[in-house]
Amino acid sequence: MKNRQTLLTRITNPKYIMVYATIGIFLVIYAAGGFLYGDKGFLTVRTFVNLFIDNAYFGISAVGMTMVLITGGIDLSVGAVASLTGMFIAYGTTVLHLHPLTCIAAALVMGVGLGLLMGWVIHYLNVPAFITTLTGMFLARGVCSLISRESIDIHHPMIDALAGWKIYLMKFADGKWVRIRPIAFVNFNVLLFLVMIIIGAFILQRTRFGRNIYAIGGNEQSASLMGLPVGRTKVLVYGFNGLCSVLAGISYALYVKSGWNLSLQGGELEVITCAVIGGTLLTGGVGYMIGTLFGVLLKSVIPALITFNGNLLSWWGKIATGLLLLLFICIQRFVVTSTGRRKGQ
């Protein structure tokens, strides 16, 4: 038997198991929703696109989080940094009357800078990522409240234009393009999310930097013995995650058009959940952007189902997400031990 690569072995490569599980479970839940609430319009394009619109900011942050998790790290500061970005924009435009782009530039400097700093502390001072980023979280959250303890509305022509901008989905009928019914559209947030997923996937799969991320997650000591730039890679990954947090913050500001010091509390955990149910291993070394994309969809399809049901309390969404997370952690455990066994260890 030839052991060479064929299309079949490429598809059945065990490294994709987790991604298949995510996509499979999403399809099952989506199909179940279609079966139960198809008559209420669950299967329409509009419902599907809304999954993206309502969760784009989590998705954008999950792109960076996926990379951090693949290195074997974690970042708890993302929710606070995104919230702080919203505060920058809200306070800057509404109170200080600055241009939003100025505020965004300041937020980028803050987010990326904090990310790089945390990465540096984690690698060079050898402080566990959990502690370092927890500190980052308190820091960012504290500054949020320092700026204002009230919710601030954002009113600026540019922000309004960006938030209101949308592309209607069209179909070709009777010789001309018409909007599909029920009306469905894609907004700036959704595009940003999809673009970030593509950029993330490109970095992870097609650049040396991305492959070093995987190598570090596989075995950091080996990676440095193989001559890979471990320190630089880790610092840059946290920096990139800071960038993603800021973009998520912008996206959230566009979504709610306000800044509030207590917004997105616990958001970091939602983001981590998206990545993990998307097949990213918490122990590092494994994860794919396509998995994260479906992880976001999977996490957002549950509240959608509850809305369609109409009778269930929204807390059932939390319970279902919890169970889902538990299921995925169990699958991961199983996959890790069953592939680890082969070495006879």
Our finding on whether 187 is near other proteins (CB under 8 A) is: no
Q: How far is the CB of 40 from other proteins (least distance, A)?
A: 43
Q: How far are the Cα atoms of 16, 93, 120, 121, 223 from residue 127, in angstroms, in the given order?
A: 32, 37, 10, 6, 19
Work out the angle at residue 241's Cα, subtended by the Cα atoms of residues 231 and 270, and round it to the nearest 5 degrees.
130
Alpha-carbon distance 30 to 299, whole Å? 11
DSSP result, 160-184: HHHHH-EEE-EEEETTEEEE-SS--
Our finding on whether 337 is near other proteins (CB under 8 A) is: no
Pairing relationship of beta strands 166-168 and 185-187 according to DSSP bridges: antiparallel
Q: Closer CB to other proteins, residue 213 or residue 304?
A: 213
Q: How far is the CB of 193 from other proteins (least distance, A)?
A: 23
The first and second tokens of residue 259, run together, are 């800044």
Q: Closer CB to other proteins, residue 34 or residue 229?
A: 229
Cis preceding-peptide flag for 182 (omega within 30 of 0): yes
Q: Give SS3 for 152.
A: strand
Helices and strands of the chain, counted as H and E runs: 14, 6
Interface residue with other proteins, options 103, 104, 223, 276 (CB under 8 A): 223
Alpha-carbon distance 261 to 320, whole Å? 28
Our finding on whether 145 is near other proteins (CB under 8 A) is: no
Our finding on whether 227 is near other proteins (CB under 8 A) is: yes
The first and second tokens of residue 161, run together, are 């234009």
x-or-dash string of contact with other proteins, 284-303, rule CB under 8 A: -xx-----------------
Distance linking the first and last C-alpha atoms of the chain = 27
Our finding on whether 157 is near other proteins (CB under 8 A) is: no
x-or-dash string of contact with other proteins, 258-287, rule CB under 8 A: ---------------------------xx-
Q: Which of 208, 260, 261, 236 is nearest to 117 (CA)?
A: 236
Q: Closer CB to other proteins, residue 151 or residue 219?
A: 219
CB of 254 closer than 8 Å to CB of 162: yes
The first and second tokens of residue 45, run together, are 């394009």
Our finding on whether 10 is near other proteins (CB under 8 A) is: yes
Interface residue with other proteins, options 225, 262, 326, 327 (CB under 8 A): 225
Q: Closer CB to other proteins, residue 136 or residue 284?
A: 284
Q: Closer CB to other proteins, residue 11 or residue 173?
A: 11
Interface residue with other proteins, options 222, 269, 309, 319 (CB under 8 A): 222
Q: Closer CB to other proteins, residue 10 or residue 97?
A: 10
Interface residue with other proteins, options 125, 175, 221, 337 (CB under 8 A): 221
Q: Which residues form the interface with other proteins (CB under 8 A)?
A: 2-5, 9-10, 13-15, 202, 205-208, 211-212, 214-215, 217-219, 221-223, 225-228, 285-286, 339-340, 342-344
